[in-house]
């Protein structure tokens, strides 16, 4: 079921129970992780005490401090706490982190289960004179989008649009700093949006050739592959061969830190090459 609210200066496209399938997919994943986490407690309950304490502490702190606003500090604190507890209790650093992640999936599984029992109507696209909102995942983040499409709902200023056009069965919007392809839009809905541009912003209709925008999309894809993919592969190989598959805590941490620095260096190099 869908709803379309349109006026001269506002477009709003809605879907009812749009996330129902993705919610079940999330529930399946979190449910499996939760079961593995619970089984791991019975496998070695003494070694599980520290991860349980770590997860409980995380959720108690999260009640007072917003996680996403302080995600970097949460990660740093988690790594320091994990390193300390794994050293104090003589646990494998890698297994400790893995068990914490499994146990942390229990709460999201319960929350998602409750959400699947309710009706939801979501706005998947909206456009006005000042901004537009759409579902816009990164090109390579298909799994994340499948699990939580509304988590990729983003807001962009209308003043940043430099070109808008149809590209096959999709809507293509080029902004000053990025390229957006709104998801889940049907052919008639794309035509409604293009008609809005014809009436209110005719100067941006196909202002930039589609092939030029596609070339820029390919460049962004390769930059991400180089900057993220290469450091992750090298870090994984280093941890496997030189850190005894995560058992050597010091080498594991050094490998992760080195991968982060390598990613920053590669990002700098790719930016310099592009500007030149």
User: Which residues have CB under 8 Å from 30's CB, separation 6+?
Assistant: 105, 106, 108, 109, 112
- Dist CA 78 CA 100 (whole Å): 10
Cα-based distances in Å from 211 to 197, 206, 208, 231: 21, 11, 9, 31
Contact 183, 149 (CB under 8 A): yes
Structure confidence at residue 40 (pLDDT):
86
* pLDDT for position 192: 93
Q: Which pLDDT score, from 0 to 100, does residue 2 have? A: 55
pLDDT of residue 157: 94
Residue 6 to residue 153: CA distance in whole angstroms: 20
Under DSSP, is residue 125 helix (H, G, I), strand (E, B) or coil?
A: strand
The domain limits of the chain are 2-17+120-208, 24-115, 212-275
Distance CA 204, CA 37 (A): 52
**CA 38/CA 58 separation, integer angstroms:** 18
Please provide residue 203's backbone torsions phi and psi, each rounded to the nearest 5 degrees. -70, -20
Three-state helix/strand/coil letters over 33-61 = HHHHHHHHHHHCHHHHHHHHHHHHHHHHH
The pLDDT assigned to 64 comes to 83
Taking the C-alpha atoms of residue 213 and residue 220, their distance in angstroms, rounded to an integer, is 11
Q: For residue 55, how many other CB atoms are within 10 A of its CB?
A: 20
Closest CA to 125 of 195, 201, 183, 191: 183
Biggest alpha carbon–alpha carbon distance for the chain: 68
- What are the CB-based long-range contacts (under 8 Å, 24+) for 175-180? 179/213, 179/216, 179/217, 179/220, 180/134, 180/136, 180/154, 180/156
pTM of this structure: 0.61
Tell me the pLDDT of the chain (276 aa) as tens digits. Answer: 455 565 557 899 999 888 787 888 888 888 999 999 889 888 877 778 888 888 888 888 888 887 777 878 888 888 888 888 878 877 777 788 888 889 999 998 998 888 888 788 889 999 998 999 999 887 666 777 877 888 889 999 999 999 999 998 999 999 988 889 999 999 999 999 999 999 999 999 888 888 888 887 777 778 778 888 899 999 989 888 888 887 788 888 899 999 999 988 988 887 776 665
Of the CATH numbers 2.30.29, 2.60.40, 3.40.1440, 1.20.272, which one belongs to the domain with range 2-17+120-208?
2.30.29
Is residue 144 within 8 A of residue 135, CB to CB? The reply is no
pLDDT on residue 274: 61
């Amino acid at each position: 079921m869908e709803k379309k609210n349109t006026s001269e200066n506002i477009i709003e496209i809605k879907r009812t129970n749009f996330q129902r399938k993705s919610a079940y997919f999330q529930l399946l994943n979190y449910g499996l992780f939760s079961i593995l986490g619970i089984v791991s407690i019975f496998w070695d309950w003494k070694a599980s005490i520290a991860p349980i304490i770590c997860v409980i502490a995380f959720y108690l702190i999260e009640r007072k401090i917003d996680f996403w606003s302080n995600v970097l500090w949460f990660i740093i604190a988690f790594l320091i706490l994990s390193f300390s507890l794994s050293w104090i209790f003589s646990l494998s650093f890698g297994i400790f982190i893995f068990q914490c992640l499994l146990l942390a999936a229990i709460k999201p599984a319960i929350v998602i289960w409750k959400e699947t029992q309710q009706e939801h109507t979501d706005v998947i696209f909206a456009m006005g004179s000042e901004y537009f909102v759409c579902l816009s995942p990164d090109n390579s983040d298909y799994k994340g989008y499948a699990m939580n499409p509304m988590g990729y709902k983003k807001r962009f200023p209308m003043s940043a649009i430099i070109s808008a056009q149809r590209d096959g069965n999709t809507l293509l919007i080029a902004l000053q700093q990025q390229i957006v392809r709104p998801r889940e839009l049907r052919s008639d809905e794309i035509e409604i949006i293009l008609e809005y541009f014809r009436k209110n912003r005719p100067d941006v209709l196909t202002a930039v050739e589609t092939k030029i925008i596609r070339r820029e999309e390919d460049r962004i894809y390769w930059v991400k592959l180089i900057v993220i993919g290469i450091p992750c592969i090298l870090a994984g190989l280093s941890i496997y061969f030189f850190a005894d598959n995560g058992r050597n805590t010091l080498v594991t941490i050094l490998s992760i830190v080195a991968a982060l620095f390598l990613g920053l260096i590669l990002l700098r190099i790719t930016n310099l090459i592009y500007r030149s």
